[in-house]
A and B are shown apart, each in its own frame.
Chain A
Amino acid sequence: MTKARQVGQALPVVSAVLVVAGLIGSMTAPPDSFQGNLQRLMYVHVPAAWLAYLGFALTFAGSAGWLWRRDLRYDRFAAATAEVGVFFTGLTLVLGSIWGKPVWGVWWTWDPRLTTTALMFFVYLGYLALRRATPDPGARARRSAIFGLVAFVQVPIVHLSVLWWRSLHQPPTVLRPGDPTIDHRMLAALLLNLLAFTSVFALLVGQRIKLSRAEDSLEDSMARRGRDVAGRAVTTPDLRGATGEL
Chain B
Amino acid sequence: MSSEWAWVAVGYVAAYGSVAVYLLRLRYRTARVDRQGRATR
Give residues in A with beta carbon < 8 Å to B: 19, 23, 36-38, 40-41, 44-45, 48, 87, 91, 94-95, 98-99, 101-102, 200, 203-204, 207-208, 210-211, 214-215, 217-218, 221-222, 225
Contacts and interface: CB of A to CB of B under 8 A. Distances in A.
Contacts, number: 73
A211 B33 contact: yes
Contact of A91 (B8, B18, B30, B41): B18
B3 to A, nearest CB: 7
A23 B3 CA distance: 20
A231 B37 CA distance: 21
B2 A91 contact: no
Contact of B30 (A40, A214, A221): A214
Interface in B1-41: 2-5, 7-8, 10-12, 14-16, 18-19, 22-23, 26-27, 29-30, 33-34, 36-37, 40-41
23 contacts: A19-B16, A37-B2, A40-B8, A44-B11, A44-B12, A44-B16, A48-B15, A87-B18, A91-B14, A91-B15, A91-B19, A102-B3, A102-B7, A207-B26, A207-B27, A211-B26, A214-B37, A215-B33, A218-B36, A218-B40, A221-B37, A221-B40, A221-B41
Nearest to A42: B11
B4 to A, nearest CB: 4
Given A207-B30, A218-B33, A37 B5 contact: yes
A208 B26 contact: yes
Contact of A38 (B8, B12, B22, B36): B8
A222 to B, nearest CB: 6
Contacts of B3: 102
Contacts of B34: 214
A101 B12 CA distance: 15
Contact of B8 (A37, A94, A211, A217): A37
